[in-house]
Amino acid sequence: MDRDGILVSERIKEVSMICSRENPIYEQVSSFSIALYVLGCFKVPDVMSVDDVDSVEAGNLLKEHFTPLMEAELPDKYQITESKDRYLLVIGDPLFPVHFAVLTGVNGNKSFFSKLRYFGSGYDSLEELINEFIGEDGIGYKDVHFYKRNKDKGRPSSTEPRIYIFKNDGSVI
């Protein structure tokens, strides 16, 4: 498992742990924010530092940072902690989505991690997620979409160390 895999695993554990608290503040955080946080889309120290994302902003982030793909294009063997690629399940119109879920693996029957409205965060199968939303506001099987996160270009990787040297006059080398 590489560094990114460990970070994703730790974020999932963090979200799962705060779910079981009594009266969790976490309930105020959307499924969009939870999924994007797990994928490392925010540069924040913890999930409670994430600014909540509504459906309009979620649609914009999807358009800017993810590429749509067909379910058949998902890898046959995938484990989020072992792969550099990140996949997202989107329920609803991609411009105004209803729900985001992170694909964590394709080998198990509970292959998606997300935050449901009434049950908190956890792992669910595709069927369980679809059944949670089917029929609500006209959502049907046609409203299930898959996306792959685009690779960040032009930005230094978070794994690349930076060294700053400050001179006595306050300038930086």
* Tens digit of each residue's pLDDT (9 = 90 or more) over 94-137: 999 999 999 999 877 889 999 887 667 888 998 999 888 888 87
- Lookup result for tokens 């949670």: 132
Residue 154 lies in a domain: no
State phi, psi for 172 to the nearest 5 degrees.
Answer: -110, 135
Evaluate whether residue 164 is within a structural domain: no
Tell me if 165 is assigned to some domain. no
Residue 161 lies in a domain: no
Could you give the number of structural domains in the chain?
Answer: 1
Q: What's 11's domain CATH number?
A: 3.90.1720
Reference 147, options 110, 92, 108; nearest CA is 92
Residue 130 placed within a domain:
yes
Burial zone of 81 (CB within 10 Å; 0-12 exposed, 13-18 middle, 19+ buried): middle
pLDDT digits (tens, 9 = 90+) for 20-49: 555 556 667 888 999 999 999 998 988 888
- What is the rounded CA–CA span in Å between residue 71 and residue 51? 30
User: Domain limits at 45?
Assistant: 3-149
